[in-house]
Structure 1
């Protein structure tokens, strides 16, 4: 089974949105820890990352519009806001970008506003929930499981953890004891996001056959056709996160530091991309009638 060509923009949209929301979440958290690090320092080390969130989210929104088939008629998807998770996803995603513009403008003016920032965190997490709910309410047993929410929020947290650690580590600001403590904590959160998904994975696969032939086929795809791909997916994500931790604790030479960190980022991105590909490829619909 292959992921259809028209699903690639959708796959990319989900990952880029989760990257944007996850990074924003962690940047806001870092800026909300005055006892750990001086407010001005926390703003300085995350400023470049805050700038990059907008362009990434904009690309995600463009991909989502073209996935609808008729870009000029995309507004019609907003007409069912009261009953459609797709409509809610679009509204929350667009609002997240709009509030990012506001928060970044305030940041550039030296008037960073925590209230606006945390409002946007809630909006962003709402976009991820709406996104996951589209699949959780489908006719594909592999998607109508809590695993969908774990996967989407897991990727959001892992992306956010990796992005925030790299932004801090690659900044030119002095790495104080407070910043080092934050990096360690973020790394543990990223690791926890992986562990939770791995713990639930066998439970998820074992429960699929209960959903009938479609669920049984999905389970077979995960444990047979995509078994190696699934293993590689988790190895890439774990190794990427571990590389960042290794470089942080071993204090590797500045000459190779950048290459090391960017390689780690590529590993994590590749792992999550492969994981999302498997998510789409193993979704087998229930045959009705």
Structure 2
């Protein structure tokens, strides 16, 4: 993989981490009245705060793949024709709206509408990220798998992060909150299953996409076959650990190490998956 792709890899993962976490926190807060006692607000307060620094760091990494970082402002001048410009605008807008929502949250005047608008903008940012690759000259990227992978990572990161923050909170885990946690876990699991179900279709499509597609298919099924298995195993085990701690209902401080282990496994798994995504992108222009 070329050195200049590392900042892009980090940018996409961090952005999807922040967007996914924020969306799930907003979804949880949508049940605040039903749960009562501001329970949904209290269990997600630290999580909302965490999103901003993550997105800020992602934006910093986004500068490093530009030829001249200090000329980054020029990259937004082609909004009508460039997915890169749209990506920067949407990601920056998401960060700006996070600042607004975080300010309201700190004042104790959380606005759910602002939360939903910010979430939609975040989803738009992920769509723009995926569209940059989907409009490339690399068959491995122009497939619907790119959108499935980017949104799948967003959902998985959001599910895992939100469950960890909720379970780590000192608030009582009521029956209503427990049901929400279960639903979040199923959403994360569904995001992974959807990608795995589509994987054979994706590889089959690459096999009939010319020499570049054949090369990408060979990389996936041969060179990176074991890495792909490890990637999915790490993500599944990470999610399973959270589920195990949740159903075990262990309230001791020792559960922290399990949450950290789970988050680490998912992060490494998704990092490996994104590495494979970049490594298997073979251009139709050869030589």
Query: Structure 2-normalised TM-score?
Result: 0.98
**Which residue in the other structure is 2:210 paired with?**
212
Q: Could you tell me how far apart the structure 2 residues matched to 1:166 and 1:189 are?
A: 14
More divergent stretch after superposition (35-44 vs 245-254)? 35-44
Q: Which runs of 5+ in 1 are unaligned?
A: none
Number of residue pairs matched?
287
Aligned residues: CA RMSD:
1.2
Deviation at 1:153, TM superposition (A): 0.1
Alignment of 1:275-286 (within 5 A): 275-286=273-284
* 1:227 maps onto 2:225 in alignment: yes
Q: Could you tell me how far apart the structure 1 residues matched to 2:231 and 2:36 are?
A: 38
**Which residue in the other structure is 1:248 paired with?**
246
Whether the 8 Å CA contact 1:31–1:39 is kept in 2: the answer is no
Deviation at 1:71, TM superposition (A): 1.1
Q: Could you tell me how far apart the structure 2 residues matched to 1:237 and 1:147 are?
A: 18
**Which residue in the other structure is 1:106 paired with?**
104
* Residue-by-residue CA offset, 1:259-288 (whole Å, 9 max, x unaligned): 011100000000000000000000000017
Deviation at 1:13, TM superposition (A): 0.3
Which of 11, 21, 24 is residue 23 of structure 1 equivalent to? 21
**Which residue in the other structure is 2:115 paired with?**
117
Which aligned segments of 4 or more residues in structure 1 are displaced greater than 6 angstroms? none
More divergent stretch after superposition (130-139 vs 63-72)? 63-72
SS in 1 for 2:149: helix
More divergent stretch after superposition (25-34 vs 154-163)? 25-34
Whether the 8 Å CA contact 1:36–1:182 is kept in 2: the answer is no
Q: Which runs of 5+ in 2 are unaligned?
A: none
Deviation at 1:240, TM superposition (A): 0.3
Q: Could you tell me how far apart the structure 1 residues matched to 2:138 and 2:244 are?
A: 40
Q: Could you tell me how far apart the structure 1 residues matched to 2:53 and 2:200 are?
A: 37
